[in-house]
Amino acid sequence: MKWILQVSLLLSLVSFLPAQKNWQKIFDAYSNKIVTINYYEQILSFEEIEDKERVKRHLTGIIVDDRGLILTSSAIYPAKIEFSASFNMMASAKIPTEIKVKFKNGIELPAKFIGKDDDLGIAFIQLTDSLQTVGVQFSKTNKLNIGQEIFLLTHLPESYDFNQIIVKRRINSIAGGNEPRYYFEKNFSSLTNFGLAIDASGRAVGYFYGGDRPVVNRLPFSGISSGGLAQIVLFNRFAEQVKQPPVFKHKQTVRKKWLGIYMQPFTRDLARYFGQPDLQGILINTVIKNSPAESAGLLPGDVITKINEQPLVAEKDSDLETLRQIIRNQKADTVVLEIFRTQHFVLKKVNLRGSPISQFMAEEVANPELDFSVKELTRDVILNRNLPPDTKGVWVSRVERAGWADIAGLQIGDLLLAINDVKIQSIEDIKKIFKQIEESKPKFVKLFVQHSGNTRFIFIKTNYQTRRGDE
Amino acid sequence: MKKWLPFLLLPSLLMAGGDLQSKIRQARQKVFPALVHIQPIKEFVDSGEPQKVQVTGSGFIFSEDGYVLTNNHVAEKARFVMCTLSSKKEVEAEVVGLDPWTDLAVLKLKLEKSNLKKVPFARLGDSDQLEVGQVVLALGSPLGLARSLSMGVISSVDRYFGQSGDMTSPYNLWIQTDAAINPGNSGGPLVNLDGEVVGINARAITFGENLGFAIPINTAKYVIKQLLEKGEVERAWIGVEWQEIKDLKAYLNLPKLQGVLIREIDENSPAQKAGLRPGFVVTEINGQKVNALYQEELPKVRLLVSSLPVGQSIEIKFLDENLAPQKVTLITEKQGKFSGDEYYCAEWGFSVKEITPRIRKHFRLTESDKVLISGIQMGSPAQEAGVFSGAVLKKIDNQPVKNIDQFITAYENQYRKDNKDHLLLIKIGEVNRFALIKGKKQE
């Protein structure tokens, strides 16, 4: 009786061995190609005109070539480069500092920030010492199937000493048409929602990341994530970025193309209302002022039926992504749109431009004597504050807590219209006037500000003439 | 004589101290019969649907023929007002006039209907004579507890509140008292020990202790007169927002400077057309010298402007950006409505509201924005079409919405009955959206 048990145990072991071997093989093949990255992120404070605090963070990275290029999550630099309607105030505009890459063998090497792609949720860093590295060779797999097994290699959180973890999941959902998004149930703890994705035959197919917005929560101690759906991005979507990584050059960063419209699906009901039941396309509802779309003469109510002769179909909101991606990743500076307007088709040539910068890229000027900082106005701030689209000038970005400006009543978000009766139209104007104030050392400075639609004067008492001790 | 004065006063002081109890009783007896417990039924549109609610407030009769003073926020939107007199007799009342700017309202009791000829009324005092520390009584229905009395002292006679939200009070300062005031006291009288009404209890700070606020009766006297004569308080508007000059004086180092600083000029206002600009210091309005060193002095200036004759030429003297004396004449306009009319579109399932200059400024809308979508009914055709509350209604079937009356006429005569699809263009901020409201029958 006993031997039956032993034999069956042995049999079960034998049958499990190949699987175990496979896991081990995959782990061994890639574990030295994923690394932990640690760096410091400056913590933004609105109540202090200088960033003093910083926090150490950790991420997972994937070595992607032999020159020390490492792919990681765009969470390493959460500030948006381009303007967008959603307005994340909390991210710091300072790039990560003291980046160090720790290899599996324990060696730690310094690295520098190269750039990022917010659409893909990825960033690149590179080792500063020229060093031969062995990168992941990605397979050209361009399709995953529902139910397909996928291995995911990443790191555990700090409390588990950043140990590597390998898990097996299956593709649970596939969304989208031309560029499908592959979702799996990500219900394991990891350092971040980022890591390497490998198929059952041991080929690296891409990376995974948690959802469309990598790290929304930027509180200092929020490193751990678990639960929810994560997405696998196949190599064909980021191969180009690996070959030629996006380079961050502050304002000069090459930005994606921008048309300057808001759009909505052109549904069957709308098509019937327009008297064209078979017409398909995308309905423009808003044309942004001073945008390529406005220059090209596009109008709200136009239906875009084709872009560069490619037909467009949008029945639901998620279908709008197709046109958005075509525009954003457009190589050429010009596209031709076919427009349906007042029962006629017209062709419109549009000269695309780079997307406007976000407020994070805007120049900030601090005045430590008056205790406040200002930033040049960017489109996202104009949109968010509901200002007239052609508003020029600067806004108050920080006010030192209990500083002179704070005491006088200046508030973050105030639009600064004039200082000492001199109109402010640009950041250069402010630099000039700050210099004058520093030279003339007045007792009071008169500001004219707009605060939530109302204008008023604010008189800041300076401390030029009352130094400590002689009050 | 002076030597003797203290001795002469002493007995009366002793009397007052010892007799506080009876003074309170006497004062109460004078006002109590005029006290009114008000329970209006309000009809309004909320979440795109008509709603009804009964609320509780207070008020008092100030004339023997049955005129009642209360708060605007008690009486506004009331379709039916039932008042309970201190005798517990119930008398119906009608709204004579409302003044949201001062939060005051006048009602008229329908005495004949209740077979009454005369009713007891309270005498109005002089709120300019109030002093901090003076004992006052608050009467009313706190939290619906009718005919309550509380006592306290005047804590301040010149409390200033900035303009924010619906509770603005641009033309008056507030009497602050520690007499307990709760919701439901609104509209009730604040009474001195002579039994004269000196204020109308209107606000309390709910997270504070004993911080009640009353509108001075002298402000009310002016409003009562206007409401009884015209049914509304007509105010002049020139389009200027004011700021006190305390800091400006320090900045300019001109201790003798007098006037009021212009902090804002409204678009297309008489002031803008006359060339007035922010930064100018106004010294004289229509022959009257003005001065506001502190913000507590601003309501006085606003009151002066608002009581200028409407549609008439007035002169303003001011100091320009170089402090050179200048003068302009401008023609005053009538002040715009406090809030717009609301209209409920039953078939589409939303409510719309007229965009008044005040709303336009508050939401930073443009001149061409005329109609606001104020509420959406759940499950309505409008909600299904993607119309949302807070958006501006710009166009219907590519035709601009010019004003609320034009929309209402078109809606009543056409849209609600033609069963056709209608394409709405709505706008939030700078972003538009098309919303297709489907007709009942497809063509």
Domains and CATH numbers, chain B: 32-114 (2.40.10.10), 123-230 (2.40.10.10), 236-334 (2.30.42.10), 342-437 (2.30.42.10)
A177 φ, ψ (degrees, to nearest 5): -100, -85
**Residues in Cβ contact with A145 at an 8 Å cutoff, skipping those fewer than 6 apart:** A171
Side-chain-facing half-sphere of B404: CA atoms under 13 Å: 17
The CATH number corresponding to A364-461 among 3.40.50.300, 3.40.50.880, 2.30.42.10, 3.40.470.10 equals 2.30.42.10
Measured CA to CA, the distance from residue B182 to residue B152 in angstroms comes to 14
B436 vs A269, A456, A461: nearest CB: A269
Cβ contact B429–A383 (<8 Å): yes
Q: Which CATH superfamily is domain A257-354 in?
A: PDZ domain (2.30.42.10)
Cβ contact B247–A262 (<8 Å): no
Cα→Cα distances A302→A263, A320, A411, B96, Å? 10, 15, 41, 52
| pLDDT for B285 | 97
Average pLDDT estimate for B418-431: 92
Window A:288-317, CB contacts with B under 8 Å? 288-289, 300-301
B394 φ, ψ (degrees, to nearest 5): -95, -50
Window B:221-280, CB contacts with A under 8 Å? 241, 243, 247-248, 250-251, 253, 261, 263-264, 278-279
A444 vs B251, B263, B279: nearest CB: B251
Q: Is B277 helix (H, G, I), strand (E, B) or coil?
A: coil
| pLDDT for B129 | 96
CB A214 within 8 Å of CB A73: yes
Residues of B with Cβ-Cβ distance to A289 under 8 angstroms: 430
Residues of B acting as catalytic residues? 73, 103, 186
| pLDDT for A260 | 93
Torsion of CA B17, B18, B20, B22, to 10 degrees: -150
Residue of B430, B433, B437 to mutate, interface with A, max A Cβ within 10 Å:
B430
* Interchain CB contact of B434 with A (< 8 Å): yes
Which of A113, A125, A191, A124 is CA-nearest to residue A152? A191
**Residues in Cβ contact with B221 at an 8 Å cutoff, skipping those fewer than 6 apart:** B124
Which of B110, B47, B50 is CA-nearest to residue B77? B50
Which of B65, B71, B62 is CA-nearest to residue B196? B62
**Residue B443: pLDDT band with limits 50, 70, 90:** very low
**Residue B161: pLDDT band with limits 50, 70, 90:** confident
H runs (alpha helix) in A159-234: none
* Interchain CB contact of B395 with A (< 8 Å): no
* Interchain CB contact of A421 with B (< 8 Å): yes
B433 vs A285, A444, A461: nearest CB: A285
CB A105 within 8 Å of CB A33: no
| pLDDT for A345 | 95
Residue bearing tokens 């390493």 = A76
B279 vs A300, A421, A443: nearest CB: A421
Write down the CATH number for the domain with range A33-251: 2.40.10.120
Question: What letters, b where the CB count within 10 A reaches 16 and e where it falls short, cover B271-309?
Answer: bbebebebbbbbbbbbeeebbbeeeebbbebbbbbbbbe
B438 vs A269, A383, A448: nearest CB: A269
* Interchain CB contact of A145 with B (< 8 Å): no
- Give the DSSP letter of residue A277: T
Residues of B with Cβ-Cβ distance to A272 under 8 angstroms: 421, 442
Q: Which two tokens stand for residue A81?
A: 């480069």
| pLDDT for A470 | 44
CB A281 within 8 Å of CB A275: no
- Enumerate the CATH 2.40.10.120 domain ranges in chain A, comma separated: 33-251
Strands (E), A359-437: 364-367, 372-376, 394-399, 415-419, 422-423
Measured CA to CA, the distance from residue B35 to residue B140 in angstroms comes to 7
B250 vs A267, A272, A459: nearest CB: A459
Alpha-carbon gap: A251 to the closest alpha carbon of chain B (Å): 25
Report the run of H or E that residue B395 belongs to, with start and end. Answer: strand B392-396
**Residues in Cβ contact with A235 at an 8 Å cutoff, skipping those fewer than 6 apart:** A138, A139, A140, A141, A204, A205, A206
- In chain A, whose CA is at the least distance from the CA of B442? A272
Measured CA to CA, the distance from residue B425 to residue A299 in angstroms comes to 13
Cβ contact B432–A262 (<8 Å): yes
For the ranges A92-96, A301-305, B17-21, B94-98, the lowest mean pLDDT is seen at B17-21
Quote the crossing angle between the two packed helices B20-31 and B5-18, to the nearest 10°.
70
For B314-351, the DSSP string reads: EEEEEE-TT--EEEEEEE-EEPPPSS--EEEETTTTEE
Report, as ranges of residue numbers, the positions in chain A whose pLDDT lies below 70: 1-18, 85-91, 211-227, 465-471
Q: Which two tokens stand for residue A295?
A: 């220059």
| pLDDT for A468 | 47
- In chain B, whose CA is at the least distance from the CA of A444? B251
Residues of B with Cβ-Cβ distance to A459 under 8 angstroms: 247-248, 250-251
**Which residues pair with residue A422 across a beta bridge?**
A419
Dihedral (CA of A371, A375, A380, A382) sign: positive
Cα→Cα distances B305→A119, B226, B271, B286, B312, Å? 56, 16, 12, 9, 12
A289 φ, ψ (degrees, to nearest 5): -60, 145
* Interchain CB contact of B364 with A (< 8 Å): yes
CB A219 within 8 Å of CB A202: no
Torsion of CA A81, A82, A87, A89, to 10 degrees: 20
| Average pLDDT, rounded, for chain B | 91
* Interchain CB contact of B432 with A (< 8 Å): yes
For A174-195, the DSSP string reads: EE-SSS-EEEEE--S-BSSSEE
Cβ contact A448–B279 (<8 Å): yes
Torsion of CA A216, A220, A224, A226, to 10 degrees: -30
Average pLDDT estimate for B286-315: 95
* Interchain CB contact of A239 with B (< 8 Å): no
Burial class (CB in 10 A: 0-12, 13-18, 19+), B9: exposed
Window A:247-276, CB contacts with B under 8 Å? 262, 264, 267, 269-270, 272-273
Measured CA to CA, the distance from residue A82 to residue A256 in angstroms comes to 8
- Enumerate the CATH 2.30.42.10 domain ranges in chain A, comma separated: 257-354, 364-461
Q: Which two tokens stand for residue A228?
A: 């929810």
Alpha-carbon gap: A421 to the closest alpha carbon of chain B (Å): 8
Whether B166 has a pLDDT exceeding 60, the answer reads: no
| pLDDT for A318 | 84
Cβ contact B362–A448 (<8 Å): no
Q: Which two tokens stand for residue A42?
A: 């400056």
A43 φ, ψ (degrees, to nearest 5): -90, 125
Residues of B with Cβ-Cβ distance to A461 under 8 angstroms: 250
Which of A155, A51, A137 is CA-nearest to residue A101? A155
